[in-house]
Every structure is written in structure tokens, then in C-alpha cells.
Amino acid sequence: MERRPASSTEARKSRHLDICLDEDVASTLDAGFSVVRLRHEALPEMALTEVNARTSFLGRELRAPLLVSSMTGGTARAGAINRNLAAAAERAGIAIGLGSQRAALEDRALLETYRVRDVAPHVLLFANIGAVQLNYGVTAADAKAIVESIGADGLYLHFNPLQEALQPGGDTNFSGLLEKIAQVVAATTVPVIAKSVGSGISVHTARRLLGAGVAAIDVAGAGGTSWARVEGRRAGDSRRERLAETFAGWGYPTAEATRALRKALPGVPLVASGGVRSGIDVAKAVALGATLCGLAQPLLEPATRSADAVFEALDDLIAGLRIAMFASGCRALADLPGALLETAE
């Protein structure tokens, strides 16, 4: 395949980290959890210790319905961040998705920045590549290889047309991808998950992706990090940054997208990510129909410090989820939809 210079991809990934750590690049849309209400049960008729937040996803048991969402890779410091994230996810008994492995396809020396199995031998681990790269030389065999190279249990294909359109020199040919996605599904022996990048996935698009064989949908809706704003800040061009800022409120809010997808696709494994910031948000997302909830930005800064710092943040999230379940009278995650009072239409 035709490769970009690895150094340019590595530099871009490093700049993404700086922007996400140091600048306000949140979507100007609210993720929607503020208008979702769960009942308060003054007499829950159980002890807090009886609350069970365990779940399963794609055949794997997890201690809580959480996924460390895809963030980074391809630079030395990204490798350290990934190891801290993975070690904490292993300890917490939850899932993790790595950042795009395009950099490792361009330069195999960068593969080590994605290898985490030595610190997380049992974690539910997802590899990751941009779906559009299937139109730029990445093959189904490449997709299979990135899964095998890190011992992943599944593969994320992320869809980021807005980000690519705003990125200087971005890859914007999204034509004819469904057939190539089906080829990736056929070539891999692990589940393939389709994920947006901060703008959400509509019911119509989800149905097309499921028809191509993907096993689950990650809505990755608006309300968290805006990758339009990230690319605007990275461009170093005031005109492009102004253009990017006009898209700061683009997309489907996470709560809205989650509710719509669950209503239309009742049996599909569904990840709600984008603007999830607390255990209460996790409880609300599960009540709306999410199987798992993904988080990225709240865990990035702790991951620059240590695995213990990430685990502490995850432990707080799980504690908040369990208390929200207890206070709404929900003994198990399956009870949460029944505790949903109302949402904005």
C-alpha cells in the first residue's frame, strides 16, 4: 500500500495529545444526559453490597459496563499512556480500545506503542483502524494483521468524515466502503465494531453497517471531544480554525443517538460514548439501552501519570454507577431501563 511518511503521522498523533490535554475542544452540544432522569427509590429494599454491575459484551464477562475508548498510539509517550490505560482496565475488569494503528502500518517500529498484553493479559482488547483507510491502500489482510499483532479480541473501524474533511491533507474518499468493510469482516476471526468519532451514528447508517457484518455499534456521539475543533487547533491556520469552529456543535448527541439506536435495533450490542463523565451518566446510558459506556478524555490526564491514577478514576466511576443503581432501586443493570422516568424528545 502507498504509505504516508511515518514521521508526519507520529507528529500529528503527538499534537492531538497536546491539544486534548491542554485546550478546550469539547463539543458545544450537550451529550444529552442532563435531561435524562432516573427515579429515586427511597426504600430500595436491598443493601448497596447487593448491587451487581457485571455484564457481558460480545461473549466476554466484564465487572462493569465500561470501555476505555480509543485514544492514542504511534508515539513513545502514547505507548506509555496505552500501557497505563490497559493495566488499569485489566485491574478494573473492563474493556479497552486502542487508538488508530495506522501509524504502525506505516512504520512497524511503532507497533510497540500499541502492545499492552504484558500488562493486561486478560483484558478485552480492541484493535483500531480508520475505515476510510480501506480506500487508501489498507487491505483486509492489513486489518487482520493489526489484530493479530497486538493479540486483540476485536477490531474497531472508526468513521470520521468530518475530521478528515477539516484535516489538512485529510483522506476524504469515503466511496464504496461497505463492500470493503464486508471483506474485513470476512477476513478477521474476531468481532468488528463500527464507531463514529464524536458525531454519532444514525439508525440508517447503523443498519447498513450491520448488513456488512459488523457485530456492534459504538455511537461515539456529540457531547465529548469535538475532533472538528481538535483539527482546527492543530491546523495552525486561522481560516481553517474558524471553519472548524462552525462544526463545534455538529452531530447527534450521545443520549439521543443511543435511545434511537436501541429502539430501532433491540438486539444489537451498543456502546454509548461521547460526553460520558460520571457513574450517573453510565447508569443513564444503560437505562437508554447501552450495553457498554466508553470514556476517553476523563482518563487521558490520569494516564499521563500512572496506571494507579487511571484505576482510581475508573473506580470512582464504578462506585458512582453502583450508587446510582442503588438509589434508583436497581439490583442489576437489566433493571435500569425500568428506572427511566423521562427524556427530552
Mean pLDDT of the chain: 94
| Domain presence at residue 49 | yes
pLDDT in tens, 288-304: 999 999 999 999 999 99
Mean pLDDT across 261-279: 97
Question: How much of the chain exceeds pLDDT 90, in percent?
Answer: 85
| Domain presence at residue 1 | no
| Domain presence at residue 324 | yes
Confidence band (pLDDT; 50, 70, 90) for 113?
Answer: very high
Q: Which helix (H) or strand (E) holds 158?
A: strand 154-159
Q: Do the Cβ atoms of 213 and 190 come closer than 8 Å?
A: no
Confidence band (pLDDT; 50, 70, 90) for 2?
Answer: very low
Mean pLDDT across 59-68: 98
pLDDT of residue 15: 79
Q: What is the CATH number of the domain that holds 314?
A: 3.20.20.70
Q: Could you tell me the residue range of the domain that residue 235 belongs to?
A: 6-342
What are the φ and ψ backbone dihedral angles of 245, each rounded to 5 degrees? -65, -25
For the chain, where are the alpha helices, taking DSSP H only? 6-22, 76-92, 102-106, 140-150, 161-166, 177-187, 203-211, 227-235, 238-245, 254-264, 279-288, 297-303, 307-327
| Domain presence at residue 276 | yes
Mean pLDDT across 35-46: 97
Q: Is the pLDDT of residue 207 over 80?
A: yes
Query: Can you name the residues that pair with 125 across neighbouring β-strands?
Result: 96
Q: Is the pLDDT of residue 94 over 70?
A: yes
Into how many domains does the chain fold? 1
Give the total residue count for the chain.
Answer: 345
Residue the block writes with cell 455499534: 217
Mean pLDDT across 127-139: 97
Confidence band (pLDDT; 50, 70, 90) for 234?
Answer: confident
